[in-house]
Chain A
């Protein structure tokens, strides 16, 4: 379960000690809520649902990072600063979605979708939404 969860979370395969790091950084890793991006939770039965839940954050990167990124654009390659920033923000968006689901009394969120859009110049919005359910 936690393995799949990590996949959903970072959009990248996290292995070995990194799993522990991700677990430490997120509230959901201790199993408070089950998150999936499929229609159901395998091995469990959905008994109740609460409708849509969503979480979003908007982040701007500071000017120093912008400058570093424009330099990096010359040689290409991964923009580590941006990857980190977006992952952090996405994690916050998921946390907010979880908060909302918990307020409704759910213990799982199924069929989660992520989307990213640029709202303002130089700022990115990370958005996660899914269906809050109670499973048994």
Chain B
């Protein structure tokens, strides 16, 4: 048996292909699917969410809130914030919710609207506020989210996406993480409109409560000065750029003839840090 030494002319086992092109084709396919699901989901949620009764929402949220061990609703500080919230609810908001304020020890400068009228305020935010009006605006802003029930819409979207991603790609897959990242961008774009509406609601609430809208922009002015502060980072990422936002607040007040008058001092307890 003779041996003939020869090299094959071409490598048959590797398809001559452009991996970059394949990458972009596949990626745009995935993004198209995501956007499709996202829009469909948005439509579905817009139809479903207004139909969920408030009582049902509160009942469902109960166990979840109770499981948050570190929240505080009974301290003097929490009661003070709660009182302020009740004033706004009584004077202007009159929403079909029973609002409950929870304090959470955290450096985050933020407040979150959770289902069932539960508003979580982070201690980092309370340390930053300088007037009662400023705090009232932030609380009214969170209440504004309940008017359009944004909290349910946002939560619903995130939950459904986590579920779809886990089912299709398995938990912790690198592609899943990539998708989650692209999702955050769309989430931001979506929130902007909701945030603006909540801001407008808060302005009206402030006007009804105090007779003027002084202090409404204070918080954002403060934040825009701390662009690089890690504390404000989160608030930034989900809320529209602060300068645009301040401009919109001023503009809205001007159109509706809301004046700015003297601010009320904040109760001392609010700014007090928890003893270490």
* Bound Cα distance from A105 to B2, whole angstroms: 13
* Bound Cα distance from A50 to B178, whole angstroms: 47
| A103 contacts B2, C-beta separation under 8 Å | no
| A51 contacts B3, C-beta separation under 8 Å | yes
State which of B2, B6, B170, B173 has its C-beta within 8 Å of the C-beta of A104. Answer: B6
Chain B interface mostly helix, strand, loop or mixed? loop
State which of A53, A66, A96, A105 has its C-beta within 8 Å of the C-beta of B4. Answer: A105
| A48 contacts B12, C-beta separation under 8 Å | no
* Bound Cα distance from A46 to B1, whole angstroms: 7
B275 interface residue (CB < 8 Å to A): no
List B1-40 residues whose CB lies under 8 Å from chain A.
1-6, 8-10, 12-13
Across-interface contacts of A56 in B (CB, < 8 A): 13
| B1 contacts A47, C-beta separation under 8 Å | yes
* Bound Cα distance from A53 to B8, whole angstroms: 9
| A55 contacts B6, C-beta separation under 8 Å | no
Across-interface contacts of B229 in A (CB, < 8 A): none
Chain A contributes a number of interface residues (CB within 8 A of B) equal to 21
Taking the nearest CB of chain A, how far is it from the CB of B175, in angstroms? 10
Across-interface contacts of B2 in A (CB, < 8 A): 47-49
With known contacts A63-B168, A121-B170, A55–B12 Cβ distance under 8 A: yes
Interface size class of B (residues with CB under 8 A): 10 to 19
| A100 contacts B1, C-beta separation under 8 Å | no
Taking the nearest CB of chain B, how far is it from the CB of A49, in angstroms? 6
| A55 contacts B8, C-beta separation under 8 Å | no
Across-interface contacts of B170 in A (CB, < 8 A): 121
List B165-211 residues whose CB lies under 8 Å from chain A.
167-168, 170, 173
A54 interface residue (CB < 8 Å to B): yes
Across-interface contacts of A53 in B (CB, < 8 A): 8
* Bound Cα distance from A56 to B13, whole angstroms: 6
State which of B9, B13, B168 has its C-beta within 8 Å of the C-beta of A54. Answer: B13
**Contact string against B for A residues 65-109, beta-carbon threshold 8 Å, 1 for contact and 0 otherwise:** 011000000000000000000000000000011011001110000
Q: Could you give 19 example pairs across A and B, Cβ below 8 Å?
A: A46-B1, A47-B1, A49-B1, A49-B4, A50-B3, A50-B4, A51-B5, A54-B13, A55-B13, A56-B13, A67-B167, A96-B12, A100-B12, A103-B10, A103-B12, A104-B4, A104-B6, A104-B8, A121-B173
7 nearest CB pairs, A to B: A99-B12, A96-B12, A103-B8, A48-B2, A100-B12, A104-B6, A100-B8
